[in-house]
Amino acid sequence: MATDTRVILICSGKGGVGKTTLTANLGISLARQGLTTAVLDADFGLRNLDLLLGLENRIVYTAQEVLEEECRLDQALVKHKQESNLSLLPAGNPRMLDWLKPDDMKRIVEMLKEQFNYVLIDCPAGVEDGFKNAMAASQEAIVVTNPEVSAVRDADRVIGLLNTNSIKPVQLVLNRVRPKMMANQEMLSIDDVTDILALPLLGLVLEDEQVIVSTNRGEPLTLNSLNSPAAKCYLNIAKRLQGEDIPLIDPAEESSGLGAKFRRLMQTKIF
């Protein structure tokens, strides 16, 4: 039995910024480090964490049945095909939207805490009931945002709500960073975002076409394509979450082309 389970809410306010992708990849990365991890899909109205993990066809029961004592918890938990340390628990059936209350969420998480080192809660978009339910059961939070005005605004709103509910610590992940656009000042810079949100930055994730491919395949990047830029970012985030001190990537360095990179490499070798 794990005693010091960390229950982390992954939320953003705005939809489509990459909450579910982060949850899936973080889940895989933590599991790879030998930590038992449960990912709880609290976005059951539009659930797709199971799709990303390629586990859609294995779901039989949900947390709803567990709470109604129609099945045991271990029957509802779906173990990942390759990463046996990772389990998925879908919160409920998309057809029954209003059954879940904050207390139900707390009960599910209490049960999960007995078995796992990490519980990651994939929060639905918005700041309404779905978010409040998910928040009720969490201790700490990761806010995902993109370097664009609307995503930052929504993240700010969510951080305000997390603060009033005394969820600590709240950390930031800046997703879909395009180094070239940042260098040309066509995109909000990292400083712009951290200035407004005033949160410690847990990590950056570079924009990567492979993310779309991996989503469609149901295989998170961190599972098989470890060399893709985004996968490296996700792995670093998982390590930092564990308290390892890994420096942030510098988008300016990423933006300069291959030639510049090569030259820099040459220089360091020669001198």
x/- string (CB under 8 A) for another protein, residues 191-230? -----x-x--------------------------------
Candidates 166, 185, 267, 268: give the one binding another protein (CB under 8 A).
Answer: 166
Among the residue ranges 59-67, 156-164, 209-217, 257-265, the one whose residues contact another protein (CB under 8 A): 156-164
Q: Minimum CB separation from another protein for residue 160, in Å?
A: 3
The least distance separating another protein from the CB of residue 135, rounded to whole angstroms, comes to 9
CB of 181 to another protein, least distance (A): 20
92, 63 Cβ separation under 8 angstroms = yes
Per rule CB under 8 A, is residue 136 in the interface with another protein?
A: yes
- 239 near another protein, rule: CB under 8 A: no
- Confirm or reject binding of residue 160 to another protein (CB under 8 A): yes
Between CA 155 and CA 137 the distance in angstroms is 19
Q: Which residues bind another protein (CB under 8 A)?
A: 127, 132, 136, 149, 153-154, 156-157, 159-161, 163-166, 196, 198
